[in-house]
Amino acid sequence: MAIGVNDATIPGPTLADFEAARITVGGVVDTTPLESSRSLSEVLGSDVWLKCENLQRTGSYKIRGAFNRLVHLTDEEKSRGVVAASAGNHAQGVAFAARELGIRSTIFMPIGVALPKLSATREYGADVELSGHVVDETLRAAAEFADETGAVFIHPFDHSDVVTGQGTLGLEILDQLPDVDTIIVPIGGGGLISGVASAVKQKSAQLGRTVRIIGVQAANSASYPTSLIKGEPTEIKGLPTIADGIAVNKPGALNFEIVREVVDEVITVDEDDIARALLVLLERAKLVVEPAGAVSVAAILAGKVQHSGTTVAILSGGNIDPLVMERIISHGLAASERYLKLRIPLPDRPGQLARTAEIVAASNANVVEVLHTRHGSGLQVGEVELELHIETRGPEHAEIVLHNLREAGYNPRVDF
């Protein structure tokens, strides 16, 4: 949906605040690379650059806001310690920032959190408490801990200091690519996009330029479109999504006010779009990106971004469990029609399996898994069912495999 940008004063941090924060976090965060992407440029029809916050310290942009928030605590607040709740990136950002500033940190994480994220958070020096099976339960536990102990609760997105820290990323992009026309930003609760959009809009106006800001949410957890229509932060009932890093069911209050004023468009992408984007980034850009961090690229590949001029897609994080990555790659291959799952009824006699394998091989495809059963539904007596998992080079190649099997007298069914 399109969102008009009016001339009202942008709520929240000023340009001076963002520029001061850039100095504050400058000694801690890395200036991450801005890499051109020929393949995405061909898809979009204009230059596309990837802002690689997946290569940031702690593996995501979150360290920017976390450090800027913690550094502004009073000495008395620092002495009480800090507490946060997160399934991953915010946890690591707060833990790292607290360690750098000599502050005691306690991080609540959901039961069943990915082991790499749990281990990294502990290695940054935090005391980790596992509580709740979903992030909302974990947040409640962290809030109770803050009430009981006096520790300062560090919100992942809805705080001015957090927004200001995240906005330093926008200023960095303008320095690296002054002629940028469009910046595409992943959205969860809105901390990143509100900071980037506010900083970029204010700085580009000062330079006499206009930069378009597009936000992207996972369709299964898209609270901003509903909230923007209703004119206030609105809680939705989200569905599970592979982009768990942006699965937030209600926008932050400050974040929503900024987004409503300065973000030009918010769009959504589905699970297949996200899986395809992760696969493209891995294969073509040689970058490991988590699903939430890849939604900006998913929007380009899905044709949701048009007439954007020189474009920067922010890759917001790269913290992904290898086991999850394996599943998503398989899903991405299937979504790209490069992973074909077939069910083929066969006469129950010797040689049929070998014959079908020969046809697939002659079609220059690769069988990666085989299941042979006499118990498939709809099978006749004297028939068996062969389930083949086949790697192909794409839709056209898949059609060749299917055509060759049919020409040989088989009746393959594609199983999605």
Do residues 148 and 167 share a domain?
no
Q: Can you tell me whether residue 296 is helix, strand or coil?
A: helix
Under DSSP, the state recorded for 60 is B
Per-residue pLDDT for the chain (416 aa), expressed as one digit of tens each? Answer: 333 344 457 899 999 999 999 999 999 999 999 999 999 999 999 999 999 999 999 999 999 999 999 999 999 999 999 999 997 899 999 999 999 999 999 999 989 888 888 999 999 999 999 998 877 788 899 999 999 999 999 999 999 999 999 999 999 999 999 999 999 999 999 999 999 999 999 999 999 999 999 999 999 999 999 999 999 999 999 899 999 889 989 999 999 999 999 999 999 999 999 999 999 999 899 999 999 999 999 999 999 998 889 999 999 999 998 888 888 887 777 777 787 888 888 887 888 888 888 998 899 988 888 887 766 566 666 678 888 888 888 888 988 989 999 999 888 888 75
Q: Note the pLDDT of residue 398.
A: 86
Assigned domain for 69 exists: yes
What CATH number has the domain bearing residue 321?
3.40.50.1100
Q: Note the pLDDT of residue 3.
A: 38
Do residues 233 and 98 share a domain?
no
* Distance of alpha carbon 404 from alpha carbon 381, whole angstroms: 26
Q: Note the pLDDT of residue 227.
A: 97
β-pairing, 152-153 vs 82-85, is parallel
* Distance of alpha carbon 243 from alpha carbon 365, whole angstroms: 31
Answer yes or no: are the C-beta atoms of 217 and 268 closer than 8 Å: yes
Assigned domain for 297 exists: yes
Assigned domain for 5 exists: no
Assigned domain for 7 exists: no
Residues 6+ apart with CB under 8 A from 129: 106, 107, 108, 109, 141, 145
Assigned domain for 1 exists: no
What CATH number has the domain bearing residue 376?
3.30.70.260
Residues paired with 370 in a beta bridge:
388
Boundary residue ending a domain (333, 361, 377): 333
Do residues 282 and 354 share a domain?
no
Do residues 207 and 309 share a domain?
yes
Output the six-digit token pair for 220: 């299964």
Do residues 347 and 403 share a domain?
yes
Do residues 206 and 136 share a domain?
no
Assigned domain for 4 exists: no
Q: Note the pLDDT of residue 5.
A: 43
Answer yes or no: are the C-beta atoms of 83 and 105 closer than 8 Å: yes
Sequence-ordered alpha helix ranges (H) in 291-394: 295-301, 322-335, 352-362
Do residues 187 and 303 share a domain?
yes
Do residues 174 and 40 share a domain?
yes
* Distance of alpha carbon 342 from alpha carbon 261, whole angstroms: 50
Boundary residue ending a domain (267, 300, 333): 333
Assigned domain for 8 exists: no
Cα 302–307–310 angle (5° rounding)? 95
Boundary residue ending a domain (300, 333, 366): 333
* Distance of alpha carbon 169 from alpha carbon 209, whole angstroms: 18
Q: Note the pLDDT of residue 7.
A: 41
Assigned domain for 215 exists: yes
Return the sign of the alpha-carbon dihedral for residues 186, 191, 195, 198.
positive
Q: Note the pLDDT of residue 286.
A: 95
Answer yes or no: are the C-beta atoms of 240 and 146 closer than 8 Å: no
Do residues 222 and 273 share a domain?
yes
Which domain, by its residues, includes 137? 62-153
**Which helix H or strand E contains 389, and what residues bound it?**
strand 383-391
| Total domain count, the chain | 3
Q: Per the confidence metrics, is the pTM higher than 0.75?
A: yes
Do residues 253 and 371 share a domain?
no
Q: Note the pLDDT of residue 1.
A: 34
Q: Note the pLDDT of residue 4.
A: 37
Do residues 149 and 22 share a domain?
no
Q: Can you tell me whether residue 73 is helix, strand or coil?
A: coil
Residues 6+ apart with CB under 8 A from 228: 1, 3, 259, 260, 266
Under DSSP, the state recorded for 2 is B
Q: Note the pLDDT of residue 233.
A: 96
* Distance of alpha carbon 361 from alpha carbon 34, whole angstroms: 41
Residues 6+ apart with CB under 8 A from 196: 166, 167, 169, 170, 173, 183, 185, 213, 314
* Distance of alpha carbon 97 from alpha carbon 75, whole angstroms: 15
3-state SS string over 224-239?
HHHHHHHCCCCCCCCC
Do residues 221 and 323 share a domain?
yes
Radius of gyration of the CA atoms of the chain, in A: 24
Q: From 66, 85, 82, select the one nearest 74 (Cα to Cα).
A: 82
Residues 6+ apart with CB under 8 A from 18: 164, 167, 168, 170, 171, 195, 198, 199, 202, 203
* Distance of alpha carbon 92 from alpha carbon 85, whole angstroms: 10
